[in-house]
Structure 1
């Protein structure tokens, strides 16, 4: 790809990217897989974060919010740390990446097809470039949310 065609640079594009529904494999153990659907959603108001919902056959899905840059980098190299990590699989029949999600209680490893995800992520970068994704963030609201809001005198 020519440097001027970097997917990380915004180009004129529609202001909406439809959700991406991917068939992924959840690794149950070293030899067993379970097919799962994952829906990736992009919100131009929060472009640095991708919402991923792993849809269950029965019951509610599980929602994770994952950094868009982490997903993008994980298509080609090790990306992330601690509770969310992603890296490409070994070369094989179809290009794919591993996505590892961890909490104190559970660990889940998924194999994601990279071609569709890469194309979808490129579409999000055409709406909001990596360089401008933090420009629209409401920093005051974000910080108030982290700190629980302004303190009331006398408390």
Structure 2
């Protein structure tokens, strides 16, 4: 399984009513959080900003509008680029990224944890921590939620 994580540099454009700004972000996936991906904005000297959202939301957003909360993802007509809308109490921002790097990223994540296999990874972590006598910090994935 290697390092259990994958990360890409992702070129995005921030789109406003008056301008488009090019930027390089990072998109990260780690098997320790098998349901989530993290979009990282490095603010050159300032604190970095991280948006964590569902891997399934990203995958669904490549073909149709996905998400209804803080993060929305959808394809342009014709399927490229892919748009991201990020919302917070202080406002919203819209970004665009190429579809191909997102597809490649998702393919790498699925090599680490196949879609549908996330619960098995969490169960393995829980039981391994229990066997080693430590606190896993996780509740059993077999308990009713």
Please give the TM-score of this superposition, normalised by the length of structure 1. 0.73
Residue 100 of structure 2 is aligned with which of 101, 110, 115? 115
Alignment root-mean-square deviation, CA: 2.1
> Which one of the candidate residues 90, 95, 110 is aligned to 2:77?
90
Corresponding position of 2:59: 72
Distance (Å, rounded) in 2 between the aligned partners of 1:114 and 1:124: 15
Contact 2:7 2:27 in 1 (8 A): yes
* Counterpart residue number, 2:14: 26
Alignment match, 1:134? 119
Match of 2:23 among 29, 33, 36: 36
Matching residue within 60, 79, 82 for 2:47: 60
SS of equivalent residue, structure 1 residue 79: coil
On the 8 A contact 1:42/1:51 being kept in 2, the answer is yes
- Secondary structure at the counterpart of residue 90 of structure 1: coil
- The residue that corresponds to 2:109 in the other structure is 124
Number of residues paired by the alignment?
Answer: 127
Q: Which residue of 2 aligns with 1:106?
A: 91
Deviation >3 Å, runs of 4+: 13-18, 140-143
- TM-score normalised by structure 2 residue count: 0.78
> Which has the higher relative contact order, 1 or 2, with Cα contacts under 8 A spaced 6 or more apart?
1
Which structure 1 residue ranges, 5 or more long, are not aligned? Answer: 1-12, 144-155
